[in-house]
């Protein structure tokens, strides 16, 4: 793996975790009356989101596209839900937590794949010969 690919994977993981966590915190604040700021700055929730999306990267590295997407979705659903239900003092029902982390899983996975796909396209376009030539008519 090249250093550029590692950097792009890292950026994709961080983007997926942050955006997924912000969406879950917003939904928790809107529908379950949680404190948005307290949820957002919680170190445990940030680490849980980062580790979960980092596992997405591992799945995509070792599995084909469809199994990796399914494994990532269920990892994003089960891992944070179990951690939140059994580790944190959350006054939410298990159904609510599962709904919140279903949304987290979808948003984080889509963000991770979008950022990584953008990185792959940029890499391919940088390798096209004649890219430095001007496209303006003379």
Q: What are phi and psi of 23, to 5 degrees?
A: -65, -45
pLDDT (tens digit, 9 = 90+) per residue, 71-88? 999 999 999 999 999 988
Give the length of the chain. 138
Give domain status of residue 10, yes or no: yes
Give domain status of residue 136, yes or no: no
Give domain status of residue 126, yes or no: no
Among 71, 5, 16, 26, residue whose Cα is nearest residue 48: 16
Total tally of structural domains belonging to the chain: 1
- Domain with 110 in it: 3-118
Helix, strand, coil shares of the chain as percentages rounded to 5? 80, 0, 20
Give domain status of residue 92, yes or no: yes
Give domain status of residue 38, yes or no: yes
Q: How far apart are CA 125 and CA 34, in angstroms?
A: 44
8 Å CB contact between 80 and 101:
yes
Instruction: Give the pLDDT of residue 132.
Output: 54
Q: How far apart are CA 100 and CA 102, in angstroms?
A: 5
3-state secondary structure of 90: coil
Residue 125, CB-side half-sphere exposure with 13 Å CA sphere? 7
Give domain status of residue 127, yes or no: no
Give domain status of residue 107, yes or no: yes
Task: Give the rounded distance of the alpha carbon of 131 from its chain centre.
Answer: 32
Q: Walk along the chain (138 residues) in steps of 10 and give the mean pLDDT of each run.
A: 84 94 93 86 92 94 93 96 88 91 96 84 66 54
Instruction: Give the pLDDT of residue 27.
Output: 93
Q: What is the DSSP letter of 129?
A: T
Give domain status of residue 133, yes or no: no
């Amino acid at each position: 793996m090249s250093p550029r690919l590692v950097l792009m994977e890292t950026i994709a993981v961080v983007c997926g975790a942050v955006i997924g966590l912000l969406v879950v915190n917003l939904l928790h604040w809107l529908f379950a009356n949680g404190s948005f700021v307290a949820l957002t700055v919680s170190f445990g929730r940030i680490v849980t989101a980062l580790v979960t999306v980092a596992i997405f990267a591992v799945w995509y590295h070792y599995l084909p596209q469809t199994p990796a997407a399914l494994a990532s979705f269920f990892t994003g659903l089960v891992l944070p839900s179990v951690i939140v239900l059994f580790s944190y003092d959350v006054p939410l029902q298990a159904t609510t937590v599962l709904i919140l982390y279903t949304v987290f899983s979808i948003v984080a996975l889509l963000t991770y794949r979008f950022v990584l796909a953008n990185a792959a396209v940029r890499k391919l376009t940088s390798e096209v010969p004649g890219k430095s030539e001007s496209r303006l008519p003379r």
